[in-house]
Amino acid sequence: DVVMTQSPLSLPVTLGQPASISCRSSQSLIYSDGISYLSWFQQRPGQSPRRLIYKVSNRDSGVPDRFSGSGSGTDFTLKISRVEAEDVGVYYCMQGTHWPYTFGQGTKLEIK
């Protein structure tokens, strides 16, 4: 199975400051169609996960533009340009290129 490794696992951030989460895969996520199927999810406390980003850098409908995704191959990043209080939660990356789909361990974002 493809192992997804996130860092950091804990991310204290001051309101209004940027935040960045790294996700590395144990194999390339480039599928035969040339697309990397890497997604990012946010899970607020007590809620179901919500997808923020798919195919590395595509924001889902309703996701604020302060969230952005980038990367290629085995190295990916989720960036929040200015952290707001509602961004508190756990962020997961997930690969959908290889079976089975696998998630990163999660990064807990909290406000300093």
Shortest separation between residue 106's beta carbon and another protein, angstroms: 5
44 binds another protein (CB under 8 A): no
Shortest separation between residue 44's beta carbon and another protein, angstroms: 12
Burial of 102 (0-12, 13-18, 19+ CB in 10 A): middle
Shortest separation between residue 1's beta carbon and another protein, angstroms: 8
Q: 94 in the Ramachandran plot: left (φ > 0), alpha (ψ -120 to 50) or beta?
A: beta
Q: Which residue lies nearer to another protein by CB, 99 or 112?
A: 99
Q: Which of 55, 73, 75, 81 binds another protein (CB under 8 A)?
A: 55
Alpha helices (H) in the chain, listed in sequence order = none
Q: Which of 48, 62, 65, 86 binds another protein (CB under 8 A)?
A: 48
